[in-house]
Every structure is written in C-alpha cells, then in structure tokens.
Amino acid sequence: MPSFRQSKGANGEAIAARFLQERGYRVLERNYRFKKAEIDLIASLPTKDAEHEHLLIFVEVKWRRNADFAAPESAVNLAKRRRLVLAAEAFLRDRKLEHSICRFDIVALTGDGRGLQIDHIESAFDA
C-alpha cells in the first residue's frame, strides 16, 4: 500500500500532467527512473523549428501545503538538479534521442482543494 507521501506525489503528478495537457503538451512518460534519480514527467511540445519537430521537457513536480516556509520550487536544489540531468541524459540515450532539444521545467503546486495554485516554471534551470 502506498504511503501518504507517495499518494500525494502521484496525485500532484496527475494534476501537473492534466495542467500541461490542457496547454498542448503531450505527456510521454511518468516516473522515469535512472539509478537514484526520478523524473516525474517527460513531455513533448511541437516546435516551429523545421529541424526539430518536438521539444522534450523534463518536468519536476513539487507540492507544498503552504509556501510560508519556502516555495515548492526551492526544493529543487543543486543536488536534485544534477540527478535530474543524469536521468534525462539516460532517457535520451535509451530512446536514441541525443540530438533532441530539451528543457527542464518545474510545476509547483501550493495549497489544497479549491485553493490550489499551480505555477509552471519553464526552463527552470539549465543542464
């Protein structure tokens, strides 16, 4: 049986996936794991670039009940970023997509229920 934290994480990822899909993103994969790293969502978005049909987006989802202590995105520290980059590189190698254009986004959720605030931070950090 999943823990409360795991259930909340899965719920947050579902909310983030729905949010992105409503904005034209296509969710390709959820919870991609590589060693000790996990990428919550991997999505694509059509581009206007003739050379690259889609942009790949690696999405980290963070949820806080309130932002009194710190914003959700502040939890994506340098160590977490490094793990995300390593997992993204593994994903690209595994799928033979090494020449894709990519970015790292954060979907930050704050609150609960009707008071839920969703912030999508595009290009939250560079690899």
Q: Please answer whether residues 104 and 122 qualify as being in contact, where contact means their C-beta atoms are separated by less than 8 angstroms.
A: no
pLDDT of residue 7: 62
Higher pLDDT, 69 or 1: 69
- Range of lowest pLDDT (13-22, 31-40, 50-59): 50-59
Q: How far apart are CA 40 and CA 29, in angstroms?
A: 8
**CA 3 centroid distance within chain:** 21
Sheet (strand 54-64) strand order:
26-34, 37-46, 54-64, 101-110, 117-125
- The pLDDT of 58-65, averaged and rounded, is 92
Q: Please answer whether residues 86 and 35 qualify as being in contact, where contact means their C-beta atoms are separated by less than 8 angstroms.
A: yes
Q: Please answer whether residues 13 and 61 qualify as being in contact, where contact means their C-beta atoms are separated by less than 8 angstroms.
A: yes
| pLDDT tops 80 at residue 53 | no
pLDDT of residue 107: 97
CA distances from 15 to 12, 19, 60, 73 (A): 5, 6, 12, 16
CATH number of this structure's domain 4-125, picked from the four choices 3.30.360.10, 3.40.1350.10, 3.40.1550.10, 3.20.20.20: 3.40.1350.10
Mean model confidence pLDDT for the chain: 89
Nearest to residue 28, comparing CAs of 7, 48, 57, 52?
A: 57
Beta pairing, strands 101-110 & 26-34: unpaired
